[in-house]
Structure 1
Amino acid sequence: MKQLINRTIQIRGFILIGVLILIGTVLGRMMWNNLHYMETLRSNMNYSRQIQQTSLELETVLLDTLSGERVEIRRDDLKKLSDEIKYITSLGHHSDEETPKNLRWINLILTDFIKRNNQVTPQILFPILSLINQILNTEIAHDELVLQEVISKIRNELMLASLIIIASLLAVKWFFQSRIFNPLQDLAELLSSLTEEKLEPISTYGLNPLLHPIYNSYNDMVGRLKTLEEEKHQHTLSLEKSVQNATRTLMEQQRSLARAERLAATGELAASIAHELRNPLAGIQISCSNLKKEINNPDQAQRLGLISNEIKRLTRLLNDLLNQAKHTPEPSTNLELAHEVEEILALTRYQIPDKLELQCNIPKNLHHQFPEDGFHQAILNLLLNAAHAMDKISGIIKIDAWEDKDSLCIAVCDEGPGFSKQVLEYGIRPFASGNGQQGTGLGLAMVQRFTKESGGYVQLTNKQPQGACVTLIFPLIKKLA
């Protein structure tokens, strides 16, 4: 009897699995076909978009020439258009068979214009523009036909799949209703008695043979539940006590963690503010010193001395609060290095003694992608570090920039005593200053963090006979042809 029940259940299970496999096969096939249709349509539309972009660029060149912004059409523009047409031709996602031939013909004409020495006038390029627009219109028309075909195929597949799914669902509904839901409804009435804590076994006399295993399991469960009920009561008492103890411990840990996080955030904020305030305070202090030298009134000179002493005291207090702070990334922009450095030097001249000379040897039109504020702060830190190193001597602080193979180099060099052997051996470390008691050790650390986040690295060297040089080396961004 048990074998017959198991065999009947297996047969019905195989039927259900077969129906589900049929539905999955139909849906998978439909999704695969739709994906193929969409990929084809996407490739064709992208091909048309590339042609449209080339047409717009050619129209821009012609408009600039006709409006007088350009004297003539540059061969670089024609070379760029020729390269784009070659790229479009190589894609091979055209809808019209004549499109590759027409594009190759356009490329031959552009190549011929590039090789000529005479001037290329806008009137010569109008036929090319007309042909490109004609190719674009033809491709768009073909894409619309392909889209209509895809929509028709998808609609037919959806109808077929819907019919199969509806029929399968009806069959599954009948199967579950007659063979599963009805017997389970009877069982639900028995299980409802468990909610009323009626843990009594039931008789299986006269029941459907398919339900015998379930009802026998129910009787076993009822017997086991009686035993577990008592065990649960004892375990609940023990668990409640454990939860209370764990809750108290967790709350204490959370309070300690929150207090530690607040202290860390306060320390980071204090360090960031302290470091940013030190530079303007240094400029104010030097300005007071210079002003004190120029004033002959002893009373006013004494007041300026008091101001200078208070600034020094404030600087010492800020140094005590220094700590590393959270860094928020800044978006990069295309900077002309010579212009940006000249602005930084103009600001720096007010913060360093007159005996120090600032020199900038950066070629014009040298560009690179940097976060503007981060770049300004890094260069300013290097210049002020160099000025602090040359505190008691006169000399030149020089900043250079150049491109070397695949790298951009920016060097700030001074004529001071140079880096110590420890700095050159162990590198840059936060809070390890090479400027004695005057430095905090965060200036070079912030420069190094900026350089690493920009994809580069910092190189520290000493010059002969004396002087230090900090070189920032960044990878060059490859330009598109």
Structure 2
Amino acid sequence: MKWRIASVAFLLGSLSTGMSWLTLQPVLIRLLDVARRLALPGTPEAEGLTRIRTFLPLALGLDLVVLTVLAYVVLDLTVGRPLRATEAAVEQLGRLQLDVPLAGQGGPLLSRIQRALQRMAEALRQEQALTRSQLEALREANSRLARAQTELVASERLATVGKLAAGVAHEVGNPLAGILGYLSLARMKAEGPEVKDFLERIDHEVLRIDRIVRGLLDLGRPGSAQPVPVDVGQVVETCVRLVRAGPELDRVDVTLDVAPGLLARADPGPLSQILINLLLNAAQAMGGEGRVRISTRQEAALLYVEVEDSGPGLSAEVRAHLFEPFFTTKGRQGTGLGLAVSLNLAQGMGGRLDARDGTGGGACFRLSLPAA
């Protein structure tokens, strides 16, 4: 502060000295002219006065230039540079570059202005952070709303198709039962290998129709689950043992990462049906050979069961239609009802079933249930 006061005092003193010299220059020149006339011509005094009279304007001009340069330097250091720094900071704030490096320079007034700019930059930084967090929350809310809308449309479509399918299944089921009965009698009385072969093929196709009809009945049956506290780990282990009894998992390595004692509110029957269906789907997706990992975990009020395989994974097109009735990637081997029925059963227990990419490139189906 003392240095700034001294600088301003020097500046004012330099300016006053320069103005004084400019005012006194004509007076000094007249006095020198009078002294020259009084001095005897040719004397050393007269010659000295003549030289002084000649160089006096030049000396005064040089002094004035030096004082002007010094005054400019002092003014630039004390006022110019702080003003330019403040101007650059204002332009930087205008471009929303909020890292404003301002020190208290240029005297009390400029220092107050610079501190005000720094407070403004800090307020803008906080406002930007708040805006970013609100925007992220809005994106998340929109994402949840889109998922809920997709699930609602899928549920309505599933309910409509289920009602229609149940009606058709009832109409087909009765004559189908008769066909199966007569087919059983025909196989008992068949003679000749060719006739028996034909009857076995017919039996295979009729049984396939029967599976489709049963799937349609399950699809059209409203969710009537009776949730009770269920140890999910025990249900998972039981389902794995049941599926291992068949040939589907002969060349499949099943790994269990099941936490003990996790209880969910679920119906053991539908829950077992969902898990068995997911296990069989995983084995078929891998061609009967690969790895399946089943894990459980609890987060807040939800319990998750994940079935992840090492198969080829799910394309975006397949994932978009995965839970639609009659959609299948297995050709004639599948009915396209297993996942639709599983979704219906999960929703009947107050849960959800979704699919995503697995960590190893395969598919991962996640069943979420209310924790008990």
| Normalised TM-score (structure 2) | 0.44
Q: Tell me which structure has the larger Cα radius of gyration.
A: 2
| Normalised TM-score (structure 1) | 0.35
Q: Which has the higher contact order (CA 8 A, sep 6+)?
A: 2
